[in-house]
Every structure is written in C-alpha cells, then in structure tokens.
Amino acid sequence: MTLNSTKAGIAQYPAQSLEVAVEFQDPDRGEPNEDRQGSSSRTNCPAVSKPLTALIPEHNRGLTLSGYPTFMIYVPYSSTPARDVEFVLLDEEENAIFKQKMPLMGAPGIVKFKLPQSAPMLEVGKQYRWQFFYRCNPRLRAEDDGVEGVIARINPSENLTSQLAKATTPLEQIQVYAKNGLWYETVTLLGALRQEKLQDQQILKEWKELLGSIGLENLAGEPFAPCCQP
C-alpha cells in the first residue's frame, strides 16, 4: 500500500448519524488492508492468542486535527523478558522523518504513543504513514512484528467547530468527533475516559461500541499498558 493510493477519500469524511453510543462509521468501503494487524507466525516471536493490532479503522486510514496525535496499539507480548518497541513516521515520499525506540512496559495490553514535540509536526493537507514494531529478536530486525496505518491532518470546518461548541460533556464531544470521521480524536479521548473510569459501565459500553464499529470488539476488554514514552 502506498501513500498516493490512499489519497482518494482522505478529504473531510461526511458526518454520520449517531443516536446513542459512540459508533465510528468507516467511509471507505474498498477492500480491507491487513496491515493493521501483525503476524507473529511469520517471525520467531512468542506465540500469542491475539495479534499485534493497531487501533485504527479497517482500511488503515484516519483523520486528525492534531499536529501531534496519539496512536494506540494492542501489544499481545509480555514485557518480560525486556524488549523494545519502535515507532516510525514516514512522509509522502516514504522518507522516515521520525524514529523512536522505547522499552516495552506493562504489556500485554493497549499502549499509547503520543508523537512528541521533538518530532516534525503533522502538516495540514499532507498524509503520513506510521509504523509500530515489536522487537522479537534484538539482534535481527527481520524478526520484528509490526503494524502500520495512514494519517492525515485537516483543519476543522465551521460546522465541526459549531458542533463542538454545543457539546456539553466529554461523551458528546467524542460523538461529534466520531460522526465527523476524526478517528484519532475519537479513540484518544474515549480511551482516556476508559482509563480514568474503569468502573464506569457507561464508558465501558461506549468503548465496546467504538471498537466494535471497526471490527475490534475482541480488544475492548484488554487493559491499558504504561508503555510507551520516549
């Protein structure tokens, strides 16, 4: 999959109707791409019951308003023995413009990586590919297990700004992001609520609904892990 092949349809997604729960409607109805899931069977990584998985829509593309967005990945591997993970950001010419290696902690679980201020800020109107690797064998990169996705930053429309101004609760704000196709804001904010309010059944219901809407309902019960900080 090349960046140029994803440009069609990355413009502002049309708003979708949301009645109760946070449900993200993927506007791309083309063939699904397998890159959001890794494959330990192709490496010498430990056997796992669920694959390494990027928490992104099935077609590996998403919009954001942020120059420094947060990325979420389910890591099925234990952090014992010690292993590293690596985040890579590529521009439209496939140049690696940012790389960050970090120790894995607290896994298995869902990890979050916020693009740091030391990285190039995402520019409006451009697309980027991001990759996340688990280092199965520190001495052999060919043994890495990895996932990837495509992200594009946009400016908020007047309609979106108006909708956000009318949102009076965090969940209402999240629903606005979801129905406007802003995946990274949706999953980041709802994920933060889920972490902060583990006993809140309404938040759990919304989290399950959101992941179910992109075909990842099997990850809704997974814990959040403290990795990954540069």
Q: Hey, where are the domains in the chain?
A: 20-219
The reply to whether omega before 108 is within 30° of 0 (cis) is yes
- Which pLDDT belongs to residue 146? 94
- Average pLDDT for residues 66-86, to the nearest whole number? 94
Token pair listed for 98:
């940012």
Residue 164: Cβ within 10 Å count? 16
- Taking 60 as the threshold, does the pLDDT of residue 101 lie above it? yes
- Which pLDDT belongs to residue 107? 83
Cβ contact 210:49 at 8 Å: no
CATH topology of domain 20-219: Immunoglobulin-like (2.60.40)
- Average pLDDT for residues 60-68, to the nearest whole number? 89
Half-sphere exposure for 84 (CA within 13 Å, toward CB): 13
Helix axes 170-179, 183-196, angle to 10 degrees: 150
pTM of the predicted model, to two decimals?
0.86
- Which pLDDT belongs to residue 47? 87
pLDDT tier at 80, thresholds 50, 70, 90? confident
- Which pLDDT belongs to residue 142? 83
- Average pLDDT for residues 35-40, to the nearest whole number? 80
Cβ neighbourhood burial of 51 (10 Å; 0-12, 13-18, 19+): middle
Q: Which DSSP string do the residues of the chain spell out, in sequence order?
A: --TGGG-TT-SPPPP---SSS--------S---GGGB--GGGTTPPP-SS--EE-S-TTSEEEES-SS-EEEEEE-S-S-S--EEEEEEE-TT--EEEEEEEE--S-SEEEEEEPPTTSPPPPBT-EEEEEEEE-SSTT-GGG-EEEEEEEEE-PPPHHHHHHHHH--SHHHHHHHHHHTT-HHHHHHHHHHHHHH-TT-HHHHHHHHHHHHHTT-GGGTTPPB------
pLDDT tier at 20, thresholds 50, 70, 90? very low
- Average pLDDT for residues 106-120, to the nearest whole number? 94
Q: At CA 120, angle to CA 118 and CA 84, rounded to 5?
A: 60
- Taking 90 as the threshold, does the pLDDT of residue 32 lie above it? no
pLDDT, tens digit, 9 for 90 and up, residues 142-183? 889 999 999 999 999 999 999 999 999 999 999 999 999 999
- Which pLDDT belongs to residue 4? 46
- Average pLDDT for residues 1-11, to the nearest whole number? 42
What is the side-by-side order of every strand in the sheet holding 61-64?
61-64, 145-153, 127-134, 84-90, 96-103
- Average pLDDT for residues 117-125, to the nearest whole number? 96
Calculate what percentage of the chain has a pLDDT beyond 90. 65
Cβ neighbourhood burial of 27 (10 Å; 0-12, 13-18, 19+): middle
- Taking all residues of the chain, what is their mean pLDDT, rounded to a whole number? 85
pLDDT tier at 82, thresholds 50, 70, 90? confident
> Residue 182's closest CA among 72, 23, 65, 71?
65
- Average pLDDT for residues 199-215, to the nearest whole number? 93
